[in-house]
Amino acid sequence: MLLSRNLDDQRFDEIVREAEGRLPWLCPVWTDHNSHDPGITILELMAWFKETQQYEINRVGPETARKLLELTGIRLRPECAAECAIEIPKDAPGRTLYAPLETPEGVAFELTEEIPEQRSALVRALIARPKGKETVDVTGMLYDDSVIQPFEFGGERGSAMLLDLSDRPKDTLRIWFQIEEPEGTRRNEPDADTELPRTLVWELPGAGKVTPLADETLALSRSGSVTLPSPAAWKPEADGSFRVKLSQKEAGCEERVRINTLSVSRFHAVQTESRARCYRFTAKREKKHSEDVRSAQARSAETAVFVRTEKGWEQVSDYRLQRKQDGVRITLDTSAAAKDGNENLLVACLDPIRLHDLLFDAVGRPGESFWLNLGGKHVLSERLTLLCQTLCEDGIVRPALWHCVEDLSVCGPRDCVFVLDRKRETISVGDGAHGALIAPGSGAVMIAEELVSLCAEGNIPANAQLRFTDDGMVVNNTAAHGGCEAETVAEGRGRLLRRLKETRKCVSEKDYEYHVLHTPGLRVLGARALPGFDVSKKHQKTPACVSVAVLPAGDDETPIPDRRFLDAVSRQLERCRTVCIRTEAIPVRYAAFNLDVSLRGGQGFRKELIEEALRKFFAPSGARIGAPADRDELYALLQKLPGVLQVDSVEFRGLDQNSYQTTAGDLTVMPDTILHPVKVAVSLTKDRR
């Protein structure tokens, strides 16, 4: 480990004392070393300067710490706005994109999607039971916090869910599912190679089976939305409703699907306040070209229009603006626009109330700064964009898009960039050598896009009386989440220390087990690495081979991984194995046995509690893989239970060849096997005293 040196190891008095001690050797004729001597005054001045330099050299400032973190691969996370979902009633009017909402406390939200005027509503939800039994209406259960198992309804496997909608959606159908996840082991975040944990079949009468366009739920294993297509061949039922059938083809080895709530009228909102937004288009070369900006924010905003020609961006003043119910329509001449297939039309929409905080005059000096006047709120740096008058390479001043960066020292003299000072609420440009200069002039700087947020303070609770600001309609909302301030250097340093404890390659047994437990997209209850354990060679010791017995977090008493689960673990092992080591993911095995316990009990003794404690002790877990059944361990467990006065005997009887009994009466298994009690018998003798 590298040890840091303390460079600030001398104080002022020590420096003066050491310097005065050298004077007799450096200058013997200098005999007056008192404070009134001018030479001593100069010496003290140099000592003060040396102490100041030592402090600065020894100090690691925030900028230096941030750059050092970047060298290790840690980039500080930017600020994020909170997100939530709102429930829109069937008879509520439609809403345009970025329609503002607000809580009674003044926390502002904006819709991130348009709410159409005509939309589907859930008429009923049915469960189609297997073997031709009648269907069950469960619509009311979806709104009273009940939990429905749609594919094992009432304990019968093979059931399906039927959803009847009032109308056929115009383009797509999005269904939001609230899933009750099991307690204990959480599912790891999926990656690009993650397969779905189960196979679901979506059917639309007349259109047959359809494939979801998007699935945030990972096949109903977590809460989120599923987006389905709405084909024209989708036929209505006899009562005019449109049915969606959902069934399960393959259950998988993990949790059973438990639905708490579902909705087809849920839309997303984000905790932001738009002070400026820019909308980009790819326009054709036309004398009279029109573009619609469908946005509630643009409907009342001050607009500035820019066209990108072959030479660069140019502001257009000759255009026609038509305000509409869902936004604005811009009509202008785009015959000079660049024709390279990229965006060549930009419409900047500015909040007219805050226009004085969005336009600035520039004098063109190096390091020029501008105050954002955020009022204590946070600006989202990743969405902060400027349009500044910039001197181009041909010597002509044109508007150009400027973007926010973390450090100007790595930028060139023509890079259109700026830095954000979050504490002072200012933005600053470069000095001409590191970052370009802004051309001087009135209104030379315009903030083209600026979104402000409360970040962590925007994580409001569910049903916080969120209402639309235009008509005051109150809507129910889910708890907002994800809002956070920009990561500090101290937090980044802590993240680095946590990362240093991890390893990307496996060396020890614990490394293999750690990586298997963190396999993307899986719920892994336990794993045990077995060096030299080769299943193909009947468990003979094999060098350069590591087998890992894996246990899924399933709802069954004896969960066993399926093919999909083992393939995912195998891919994870292949990514993290060391060179020349062959790895294999193997399923755990179970050794059945019977357990007989004889006890003497007194007051407070309950037989069912004893049996429950014994079954819980032998419940499948990572610690139980390869673990024997130890009589002494059970003696100690039983003696601690309430009402147990004496443990007379504990006997194990293995029921297959996966376990064998030792001379001490314990049961031992292979290292990839878990003992599973089939029968637990507790015989009781009450104490007559």
Residue 212 and residue 242 share a domain:
yes
Q: Are 582 and 674 members of one domain?
A: no
Position 110 in a domain:
yes
pLDDT tens readout for residues 14-24: 999 898 888 88
Same-domain check for residues 635 and 676: yes
Q: Average pLDDT, stretch 362-368?
A: 93
- Mean pLDDT for the stretch of residues 568-597: 93
| Residue 178 lies inside a defined structural domain of this protein | no
> Which residues make Cβ contacts (< 8 Å) with residue 470, sequence separation at least 6?
99, 100, 296
- Do 578 and 609 lie in one domain? The reply is no
Q: What pLDDT is attached to residue 10?
A: 87
* Rounded CA separation 326/345 (Å): 20
Same domain for 637 and 569?
Answer: no
Same domain, 628 and 669: yes
Q: Give the whole-number percent of the chain exceeding pLDDT 90.
A: 70
- Which has the closest alpha carbon to 312: 391, 414, 405, 413? 391
The predicted structure's pLDDT at residue 686: 57
Q: Is residue 65 part of a domain?
A: no
Q: Considering the domain boundaries, does residue 575 fall inside one?
A: yes
pLDDT value, residue 387: 95
Which of 512, 502, 517 shows the shortest CA–CA distance to 188? Answer: 517
Q: Using CA atoms of 569, 572, 577, 581 in order, give the dihedral in degrees to the nearest 10.
A: 40
Average pLDDT over residues 489-496: 91
Q: 95 and 200 share a domain? A: no
- Domain end residue (candidates: 563, 587, 611): 587
CATH classification of the domain holding 530: 3.30.300
Task: Find the domain containing 529 and state its range.
Answer: 509-587
Among 53-57, 131-135, 248-252, the range scoring the smallest mean pLDDT is 131-135
Q: Same domain for 129 and 254?
A: yes
Which pLDDT score is estimated for 552? Answer: 95
Residue 304 lies in a domain: yes
- The mean pLDDT value of the chain amounts to 91
Q: Does 603 share its domain with 523?
A: no
**For residue 397, is it within any domain?**
no
Check whether 210 has a pLDDT greater than 90.
Answer: yes
The reply to whether 323 and 253 lie within a common domain is no
Residue 3 in any domain: the answer is no
Instruction: Note whether 468 and 349 are same-domain residues.
Output: no
Q: Tell me the C-alpha distance between 31 and 681, whole Å.
A: 101
CB 252 within 8 Å of CB 197: yes
Q: From 381, 387, 356, 362, select the one nearest 450 (Cα to Cα).
A: 381
Report yes or no on 494 lying in a domain.
Answer: no
CB count within 10 Å of CB 408 equals 18
pLDDT value at residue 25:
87
pLDDT in tens, 100-139: 999 999 999 999 999 988 888 999 999 998 877 788 999 9
Residues 143 and 248 in one domain: yes
Domain end (from 197, 232, 264): 264
- Which range (250-264, 443-457, 592-606) has the least confidence? 592-606
Select from 484, 499, 530 the last residue of a domain.
Answer: 484
The amino acid at 628: P
In tens, the pLDDT along 584-638 reads 999 999 999 999 999 888 877 888 889 999 999 999 999 999 999 999 999 999 9
Q: How many domains does the chain have?
A: 6
CB 198 within 8 A of CB 523: no
